[in-house]
Amino acid sequence: MVLATLLFAGMGVCVKKASAEVTTAEVVFFRGFVGAVMMGALAWWQGLNLQTQVPSLHFLRGLAGVTALSLWFYTIGKLPLSTAVTLNYMSSVWMAVFLVLRQLWRRWRAQPSKHIPLPLLVAVLIGFVGVALVLRPTLQRDQWLEGLIGILSGMLSAWAYLQVASLGRAGEPEHRVVFYFSLFGTVAGLLISVGTHLSGHAAWVNPSPMGWVWLLGIGGFATVAQLAMTRAYAQGQALVMASLQYLGIAHAFILGVLLFHDPINPLSILGMALIVLAGIGATRTSSAVKD
């Protein structure tokens, strides 16, 4: 998961660069298309089977993940970047809420349920506080609708991560999970392009040579990161992985300072420390979680 967060931060840099030239539909399309090609080539080269016995799980994962991604890109265009990123990173908090509600439901139905340690939930919340300190989000009164869309993006991201865990428990290998998600993203990018064109806006812009580099970088970084994240969620405990995922903010903060000269302040340093603390605490607590 630590490797996945670093790679996703690299993808974020490419998204920031590419978004200055191309549309959101192009970013979504190339994020999926490059991944589908890479996974298809890997499957052909190593003789891996892409046929799945759980297409419904892949569909739900793709629907939730790509919708969350598209909504996130929308909020980035409408809200301050710090606000959009923070709302998306609430996915870990929503995941904790979903798991607790599922646990209460199973107990009410007198069904077996997993034990979720309180320290693990605290680690998730500490990590989110760290995110807020690093990003210091702001939301204007006339941006409440965009804020709700950002919250929905985080909720759908949480659902998508839980679907990844379900696919892992169903025995789906990483390459197959990433391939179908990338394929879903490719189709979604094309559909967004059609919808944008029908609405009278530019759906496709020819990028510069460096623009193509950024677009290919989005797909490349995202695909390898998805492989790492899929294995992490398949083999690890969901809330532990969610807490470690907060490290992506620390990576993005450092890259922002080095590449985009983002300012440094004490609150950001404190936030990064809390993010790392949450990740360490979640890892130490994982031994108490019953699978």
CA distance 288 to 282: 10
What is the pLDDT at residue 288?
53
Name the maximum alpha-carbon separation found in the chain: 60
CB atoms under 10 Å from CB of 203, counted, come to 18
- Of 231, 240, 237, nearest to 178 (Cα)? 231
pLDDT, tens digit, 9 for 90 and up, residues 30-89: 999 999 999 999 899 988 888 888 888 899 999 998 899 888 877 766 766 666 777 777
Quick check: pTM over 0.85? no
Task: Provide the 10 A C-beta neighbour count for residue 98.
Answer: 16
One-letter identity of residue 269: I
Q: How far apart are CA 278 and CA 93, in angstroms?
A: 13
Is the pLDDT at 290 greater than 50? The verdict is no
Q: How far apart are CA 163 and CA 234, in angstroms?
A: 10
* Terminal Cα distance for the chain, rounded: 18
Q: What is the mean pLDDT of residues 116-138?
A: 77
Q: What is the pLDDT of residues 95-108, one digit of tens each?
A: 777 777 777 788 88
Q: What is the pLDDT of residue 247?
A: 83
35, 261, 271 from 219: Cα distances, Å: 6, 25, 29
Select from 74, 138, 92, 122 the least CA-distant residue to 247: 92
Q: What is the pLDDT of residue 81?
A: 63
Give the pair of three-digit tokens for residue 10: 């690299």
pLDDT of 291 strictly over 50: no
User: Is 275 within 8 Å of 247 (Cβ atoms)?
Assistant: yes
The structure tokens listed for 9 are 């931060």
Q: Nearest 5°: phi and psi at 246?
A: -60, -20
pLDDT band at 287 (very low <50, low <70, confident <90, very high): low
Encode pLDDT of 211-262 as tens digits. Answer: 999 999 999 998 999 888 888 877 887 777 877 877 887 887 788 788 877 7
Amino acid sitting at position 26:
E
